[in-house]
Amino acid sequence: MPVIALVDDDSIFQFTATRMIESAKLARNILHFENGAEALAYLKENSLISESLPDYLFLDINMPFVDGWMFLEEFTSLKNSLAKQIRIFMVSSSIDPRDMNRAREFKEVQEFVIKPVTIERFTELLKSA
């Protein structure tokens, strides 16, 4: 079973996503980060420990300190030093086509997902990836 990371400053999204992922038994472990800086620090600290790294990362766009775009910029230079490949889903309540197009510019982003995310959508994303 995969390890999933939720990178989002919205505690309600963190809580509901965790409950849905746990109830559907979609993950072995769920990591929680309130912003991109926390997530990047964790990835750097655990870069050589494959079982500690997430398989999938759900990344919000709008967060304090280091937002989703800043995270992706740094992640692109960090990814080759990680012990495993991490698939990223950009998650946002934004329906702005500019955000969707910008997310597509990063080959690391598997898909742009609009909130709210249902249990069916989590299942579909994780099974298709």
Residue linked to tokens 């620090």: 41
The reported pLDDT for the residue numbered 48 is: 97
Q: Are 57 and 39 in contact (CB under 8 A)?
A: yes
List the domain range (segments joined by +) for residue 62: 3-128
pLDDT in tens, 50-80: 999 999 999 999 999 999 999 999 999 999 9
- Number of compact structural domains in the chain: 1
Residue 114 is which amino acid? I
Please give the Cα distance from 84 to 64 (Å, whole number): 27
CATH number at residue 62: 3.40.50.2300
The reported pLDDT for the residue numbered 97 is: 94
The reported pLDDT for the residue numbered 128 is: 85
pLDDT in tens, 37-54: 999 999 999 999 999 999
Please give the Cα distance from 68 to 92 (Å, whole number): 10
Residue 128 dihedral angles phi and psi, to the nearest 5°? -80, -25
